[in-house]
């Protein structure tokens, strides 16, 4: 049991850390744009808010609360619609940002600004991830890959390997389409993964008590979220520390471009919601 918990915890932390690295998602854009303004406390609160949303989505995906997803799925078009407005709003605020050139390196001035503007940071971080329904499928498929890889290496996953197969199948049935999880793998490699996971699942069913699946699901969800928040904190710290070496005009243009990207996310979400409403 201890071996499985350690394996899942370490793997979850590394996966969360690595998967959060690309600065392409709404949370990373939000963190980067505010870190360039020197708002480290704001970035930390945003990260904590995103941590809660990440933990919730990963736990549902790994523990297999597919019944919750069946209730959640009909609301997805509405969530996309609200999410598009939310991202447009965030993008607009970022584009309208005016940096105070004279006080860029004045820490006392920044602290005063942060205290005024940091109040809604936790809520913003949480809502940014929560209003992104694609995050659930992303967490499901990435967790499937990570846990399958652990099983293929002969490491005990506490029954998660077999459970993830079941979760993928159930979510695919609810979605009405097959969720692609074998991209980048040949047929033989995928079959090999399946055999090793089935063997791992049979062993785990005989070894672990019934409550253990809940425990190890919480561990995996917690540590993958912890890995993500660790990367976001380091990213914030690095940008805040070295931003004063950058040209103020470059910072300003880069922040505004990040705002445009968030607006594009809003446009994409509105397209998805419109398509879903038409097909309903």
Tens of pLDDT, residue by residue over 160-177, are: 666 666 666 766 666 666
CA 99, CA 276: separation in Å to the nearest integer? 39
Q: Which residues of the chain have pLDDT under 50?
A: 101-116, 182-190, 192
CA 57, CA 225: separation in Å to the nearest integer? 10
CA 69, CA 44: separation in Å to the nearest integer? 29
Q: Output the CA angle 30-243-54, nearest 5 degrees.
A: 25
Buried b (16+ CB within 10 A) or exposed e, 150-167: bbbeebbbbbbbbbbbeb
Tens of pLDDT, residue by residue over 188-197, are: 444 545 555 5
Residue 270 has what pLDDT?
92
pTM metric for this prediction: 0.76
140 near 167, Cβ under 8 Å?
yes
**Nearest CA-CA partner of 33 in 79, 95, 119:** 95
Q: Which helix (H) or strand (E) holds 146?
A: helix 134-152
Taking the CA atoms of the chain, what radius of gyration do you get in angstroms?
Answer: 21
Residue 2 has what pLDDT?
80
Residue 208 has what pLDDT?
64
The 3-state DSSP composition of the chain as helix, strand, coil percent (nearest 5) reads: 80, 0, 20
Sign of the CA dihedral with 210 first, then 215, 220, and 221 last:
positive
Name, in order, each residue with C-beta under 8 angstroms of 121's C-beta and a sequence gap of 6 or more.
41, 42, 43, 44, 45, 46, 49
Give the number of other Cβ atoms within 10 Å of residue 23's Cβ: 14
CA 251, CA 13: separation in Å to the nearest integer? 31
Residue 176 has what pLDDT?
63
Residue 99 has what pLDDT?
61
Name, in order, each residue with C-beta under 8 angstroms of 68's C-beta and a sequence gap of 6 or more.
60
CA 162, CA 216: separation in Å to the nearest integer? 13
What does each C-alpha distance from 4 to 37, 156, 159, 208 come to in angstroms? 42, 5, 9, 10
The DSSP letter of residue 103 is G
């Amino acid at each position: 049991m201890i071996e499985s918990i350690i394996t899942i915890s370490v793997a979850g932390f590394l996966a969360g850390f690595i998967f959060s690295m690309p600065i392409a998602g709404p949370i990373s854009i939000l963190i980067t744009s505010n870190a360039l303004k020197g708002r480290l406390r704001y970035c930390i609160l945003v990260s904590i808010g995103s941590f809660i949303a990440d933990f919730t989505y990963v736990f549902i995906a790994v523990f297999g609360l597919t019944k919750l997803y069946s209730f959640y799925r009909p609301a997805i078009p509405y969530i996309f619609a609200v999410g598009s407005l939310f991202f447009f709003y965030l993008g607009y605020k970022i584009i309208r940002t005016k940096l105070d050139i004279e006080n860029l390196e004045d820490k006392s001035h920044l602290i005063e600004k942060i205290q005024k503007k940091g109040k809604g940071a936790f809520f913003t971080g949480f809502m940014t991830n929560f209003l992104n329904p694609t995050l659930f499928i992303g967490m499901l498929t990435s967790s499937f890959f990570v846990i399958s890889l652990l099983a293929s290496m002969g490491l005990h996953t506490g029954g998660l390997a077999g459970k993830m197969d079941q979760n993928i199948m159930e979510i695919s049935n609810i979605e009405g389409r097959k969720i692609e999880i074998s991209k980048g793998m040949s047929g033989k490699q995928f079959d090999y993964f399946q055999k090793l996971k089935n063997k791992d699942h049979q062993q785990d069913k005989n070894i672990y008590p019934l409550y253990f699946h809940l425990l190890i699901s919480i561990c995996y969800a917690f540590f993958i979220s912890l890995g993500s928040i660790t990367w976001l904190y380091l990213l914030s710290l690095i940008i805040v520390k070295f931003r004063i070496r950058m040209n103020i005009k470059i910072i300003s243009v880069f922040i505004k471009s990040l705002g445009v990207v968030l607006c594009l996310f809003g446009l994409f979400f509105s397209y998805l919601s419109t398509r879903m409403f038409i097909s309903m």
